[in-house]
Amino acid sequence: MKDPRAIVITGASSGIGTALARAYAASGIHLALSGRNGERLGAVAAACRAAGAAVEEKIVDVSDASAMAGWLAECDSRNPVDLLIANAGISAGTGGGSEPASQARAIFAVNLDGVLNTVLPLLPAMQQRRRGQIAIMSSLASFRGFPGAPAYCASKAAIRFWGEALRGELWESGVRVSVICPGYIVSAMTAGNTFPMPLLMTAERAAAIMKRGLAVDRARIAFPWPLYFAVWLIGALPPALTDSLMRLLPKKH
Ligand SMILES: NC(=O)c1ccc[n+]([C@@H]2O[C@H](COP(=O)([O-])OP(=O)(O)OC[C@H]3O[C@@H](n4cnc5c(N)ncnc54)[C@H](OP(=O)(O)O)[C@@H]3O)[C@@H](O)[C@H]2O)c1
């Protein structure tokens, strides 16, 4: 969508969500921002207000389905949502050994259920208005199950496939869906990684690429392209050829 006026962003209190909020903040824009850390979210909201945007902020856990439905209904009744960015997510890997069950379940609760809890409540209203755009924050980690982060890769693959299917399902209704697949981006999520992160990019640069892709309704916004090509190829090759390489990759903590 070219000029969204009412924009909802989950996970706006840090990293990519903050950079997206700041990239869209301008006079005439209404931002509804959510996160869990009130102090950081408040600072982001203040910066966006200083850039001229009208901002409402909400502390809400994306894994709480009824709280999310209530908040999104309020947002939509005040300002019918043009662009909904389901960005909030967590990551963790097998760096300490194998992935604990509690970690796997927590990742799915936020990265998969949290996205459903963000998108599903607004779908009927968007379909009725025959207008609206949904952006789903997947990852280049969605193109292959990497042994260092099983639940993370699986959660990002699930929402990528869901978003791609939803795009086709909703096409006739006029609602547009884009799936975003970034590579390594500087944020709290990658701050603890001790391994090399090829083509690491600032959140500001990533947000600018996302904003451009969303403005032209790109189905898949995947970048940087050399890393996209590499993971696409690894995902396309038979596992028998790639398994031994996969086992050598560093594991995320
Ligand atoms: N960084 C990368 O390299 C990279 C690459 C590909 C995809 N991504 C995806 O991009 C998205 C943003 O990540 P980031 O790099 O910006 O990480 P980040 O700096 O850790 O930010 C994550 C955001 O999600 C919010 N969040 C986490 N759990 C939540 C929950 N249960 N309820 C509500 N909000 C929650 C956090 O809120 P609080 O801080 O307030 O708790 C924070 O605002 C994630 O979906 C991530 O998987 C990141």
- Distance (angstroms) between ligand 1 centre and the Cα of 85 equals 12
- Distance (angstroms) between ligand 1 centre and the Cα of 238 equals 31
- Please compute the mean of the pLDDT values over residues 80-96 and round it to a whole number: 94
- Please compute the mean of the pLDDT values over residues 139-144 and round it to a whole number: 98
The pLDDT of residue 253 is 80
152 is catalytic: yes
From the list 24, 152, 184, 228, the catalytic residue is 152
The pLDDT of residue 248 is 85
- Please compute the mean of the pLDDT values over residues 33-47 and round it to a whole number: 98
Residue whose Cα lies nearest atom 21 of ligand 1: it is 14
Residue whose Cα lies nearest atom 19 of ligand 1: it is 15
Which position has the token pair 């292959």?
A: 144
Q: In degrees rounded to 5, what are phi and psi of residue 97? A: 135, -115
Residues 169-187 pLDDT 10s: 999 999 999 999 999 999 9
Residue whose Cα lies nearest atom 7 of ligand 1: it is 139
Sequence-ordered strand ranges (E) for 49-195: 54-59, 83-86, 133-137, 176-182
Report angle CA 54, 55, 60 to the nearest 5 degrees: 160
The pLDDT of residue 31 is 98
- Distance (angstroms) between ligand 1 centre and the Cα of 110 equals 10
Query: What gap in Å lies between CA 149 and CA 77, rounded to an integer?
Result: 39
How many other β-carbons are positioned within 10 Å of the β-carbon of residue 151?
23
- Please compute the mean of the pLDDT values over residues 223-235 and round it to a whole number: 97
Confidence check: pLDDT of 98 > 80? yes
How many other β-carbons are positioned within 10 Å of the β-carbon of residue 56?
16
- Please compute the mean of the pLDDT values over residues 29-40 and round it to a whole number: 98
The pLDDT of residue 66 is 98
Do 103 and 26 touch, CB atoms closer than 8 A?
no
- Please compute the mean of the pLDDT values over residues 78-99 and round it to a whole number: 94
Confidence check: pLDDT of 140 > 90? yes
Q: Is the CB of 13 under 6 A from ligand 1?
A: yes
pTM over 0.75: yes
